[in-house]
Amino acid sequence: MKYHQMSTQELVNQFKTNPKTGLTQQEANERLLKHGKNELEKPKKRNIFLRFFDQLKDFMILILFIASILSFVTGDYAEGALVIAIILINAILGLVQESKAEKALESIQKMSSPHATVMRDGVELVIDVSELVVGDIVLIEAGDYIPADLRIIESVNLKIDEAILTGEAVPVEKKAGIIKEDEVALGDRINSGYMSTVATYGRGVGLITGTGMDTEIGHIATMISEAKTDQTPLQQSVSKLGEALAVIAIIITLVIFGINIAEHYYFDGGNVGWEVWQKSFMASVALAVAAIPEGLPAIITIVLALGMQNLAREKAIMKSLPAVETLGSTSVICSDKTGTLTQNVMTVTKVYSNNKIIDINENTHVDDKLLQLLTYGVLCNDTKVNLNEENEYTKIGDPTEVAFIDLAITLNYNPIEIFTNNPRISELPFDSERKLMTTVHDFDNKRYAVIKGAPDVMLRRSVESKKSIKDYENANLMMTSEALRVLAVGYKEIDLTLPLDKLTHDYLENDITLIGLVGMIDPPRPEVKDAIKVTNRAGIDVIMITGDHKNTAMAIAKELNIIKSNDDMALSGLELDNLSDEEFKKVLPHVRVYARVSPENKVRIVEAWKAENKIVAMTGDGVNDAPALKTANIGIAMGITGTEVSKGAADMVLTDDNFTTIVTAVEEGRGIYANIKKAIHFLLSCNIGEIVTIFLGTILGALIFSGAVTTLTAVQILWVNLVTDSLMAIAIGLEPKEADIMNEKPRDSRKSFFADGLGIKIGWQGIMLGLLSFSAFVIGYFIYPNTEGATGDVLRAAKLMNASTMTFMVLAISQLFHALNVKSEKKSIFKTKFNKYLLWAFITSLILQLLTIVFPFTRELFNLSNLNLVEWLIVLGLSITPIIVVEIQKLISNLINKRKRAV
């Protein structure tokens, strides 16, 4: 038998306590030793060194480490040191940017109330909550935190705000009775209280049934600590890319090494000594190092960091770099209802007055009957209303009662004046047994009781005719069918001479004259409907998960087009519990609303979608949301209403608690991924160009130049990779989002960077850059103007330097022009958005490249010679060729695709 099913006496027997005097101090001490303190376990912290090394657990970083070691082996100490510096800077950037440390459990620790009032040996004591034990009898007053899980054994109008556990905005009325059902959702256990929730009204007495980690919040803390964190799609893709580059580098090393040995064997008459082996190995390793885009990890980090700044301006604060891109892969958004999809304000949307249902807005006409309804609704109300310095209303009270105040304000009536002009003489507070609240006021030398409460109770106690009662019942049915919470307002004229102590429930709350009905709901945010249209267009499923009741959730879901067809359905938490994993898998695509769910339900929903290879974003604001936030691919916490626990478990925090911001962030994430993909496209095609240039010099050198030649030196390759290429790659990472980015379906996280033809494009474009650069080498060698009359080896060396200079210039400048090609895979560069960063990077890189040939010391460093006008014109012509070739390819591809669509 569960605690909510047990009577007070059964609980007293189970826990061996006394409901009047509580435990003895000796018994409490023994239980404290046996069960431990009423505290949550503290998580083990990883020190900063371990967290630093976590940044290095990436296959791409491992490849760079190997590349740096090989650079040292081949004597290229500058390159080796530079690559190590890039790795360290990248790790430090990641460590600084990421605040993914385990803050969630620490946040929970802070939420517990520091003190509680408890009965010990028949005496009321105020003790530290950590000293509470099972069986303790605690006294609860409005404003108190509930210090542990407990059963309510006495209640006087007690209400507890359980939003952090259930997500339900309205405080729950608590009773001391028995709940017979075995399986009851946490939000429906009205005879129980839970650690870290807050008593908002009334008072009560509780018997503690669970402390520390044995509480509901302790259970959630365990779930948070056990939740697994998956690699993000970007991390998976970069890891696969690193593996591919490693394989390529090994193959290149072996092939070039073999070719070098074979050439020396052939030309040297079979005489291959140790020096040849060493030279061949160093040459092949240098080429393998050229295959690795050393700046790529740093460029990805910089692009993600800049993306974080952009998202912060859009009111979305990211807590980890990889999560920025994960947003762009999102295919399912599991969203909380209250405050995210809705306004988190109970709002009167309809009233029944003067025999008709009226829609409420600021333009609604107020007749005498409606004025009476709103006036009496304000008077029978415990909301505290004031005007602040900005002349704005501040309201503190129960959300339902605040709705009556907002009704008056919406219809341009001052609630403070209504209170002041009609002071309260007496009152009968609301309680859950009567389902009524009554206040007494004097109007025009007469005394009236103003009554507010449940429509069925009010109608039974009214003086209305049968027809009028039927009309009220029909109106109530119509409003509740729209998931409105409906209250009736009425009055009764009473005897002025009757003493106040004679104003009993029976006298005041019978023979009531009804004024009307008031229907209220937490309405959708006006901008959310358009945002959901965008998600539908983008192929993203939106799922509503709420602690609210099913009919209310479905009404909001239909209004927002989350429920779009007859196949779409809603499940309660208990219904979900009764489904096997196989049964749940079958209905998963059709369930658009989950209501009255537990933390375990939320985790199960997220895991079910992840099992379908979907990238899941989960929103939440309460402690109950934290396990699911951590389990999701991207956890999104609310910055305004969110608890510290939910913020600690999340990857992103919304500073405006708005669903529309999530959609904006997804769009930004897609743009960031597209730009990273473009940067990788650019860098890898450039690296392939370098490999092809060196490879052709190695294998064709003997045929064309009477021996293997060095088309590019290590210093030249390093300059292009880390200066010109990196600047352009960063600028590509800042490319404006393409206009139709939210018209595409979410990308499959299992696909590699090279999917959908990108690998082929990188390959042929890299080969094109390599052929152009090698062409420059051939041309430069054969058109060298021998103005000094050099001969023999001197002439050959001069021709090779001239050829290498033209190759270096064509390679670097053609890559600058090629960067313009990757702005869009389909669109002509003349139809893409202007990118000022790309323009400045182009100009800066071009100037830096030209400076290498201007000064004597740079010419010596890079092993360059001066070029004449004809040679510069050849360099320019070869350099702009990639633009012409790729533009023709895009034109042909677009014409073919257009014809296919027409067919």
Catalytic residue numbers, as ranges: 336
E strand residue ranges, 697-815: none
Which structure tokens are listed for 325? 């891109």
**How open is the CA angle 537-595-593, to the nearest 5 degrees?**
20
At 525 the three-state DSSP class reads coil
Residue reference for tokens 């109106």: 475
Distance set, CA 25 to CA 33, 37, 151, 256, 380 (Å) = 12, 15, 21, 83, 46
Element of type H or E holding 824: none
Rounded-to-5 percentages of helix, strand, coil across the chain: 55, 15, 30
Q: Which two tokens stand for residue 248?
A: 């390529």
- 227 touches 627 (CB < 8 A): yes
Calpha distance 105→649 (Å, rounded): 9
Tokens of 178: 């028995």
Rg (CA), the chain: 37
- Eight-state DSSP code of residue 788: T
Task: Return the exposure string of 312-333: e unless at least 16 CB atoms fall within 10 Å of the residue's CB, then b.
Answer: eebbbbbbbbbbbbbbbbbbbb
Tokens read off for 754: 């090279």
Take residue 606 and report the two structure tokens written for it. Answer: 């997220």
Helices (H), 273-338: 274-290, 296-313, 321-329
**Sequence-distant (≥ 6) Cβ neighbours of residue 183 within 8 angstroms:** 574, 577
Using DSSP, state whether 227 is helix, strand or coil: coil
Q: Which two tokens stand for residue 382?
A: 């415990």
What's the rounded Cα separation, in Å, for the pair 99 and 106?
14
Residue with tokens 């052929």: 771
User: What token pair was written down for 497?
Assistant: 């001479």
Alpha carbon 117 to its chain's center: 40
Q: Strand 347-353 to strand 513-521: parallel, antiparallel, or no bridges (unpaired)?
A: antiparallel
Spatial contact of 6 and 178, defined as CB atoms under 8 Å apart: yes
Chain centroid offset of residue 593 CA = 20
d(CA 71, CA 879): 29
Separation between Cα atoms, residue 204 and residue 174, nearest integer Å? 9
CA distance 291 to 695: 11
C-alpha–C-alpha distance, residues 510 and 516, integer Å: 16
Task: Find out whether 187 and 230 touch, Cβ atoms under 8 Å.
Answer: no
Three-class DSSP labels, 331-346 = CEEEEEHHHHHECCCC
For 693-710, give the DSSP string.
Answer: HHHHHHHHHHHHHSS---
Contact 208, 135 (CB under 8 A): yes
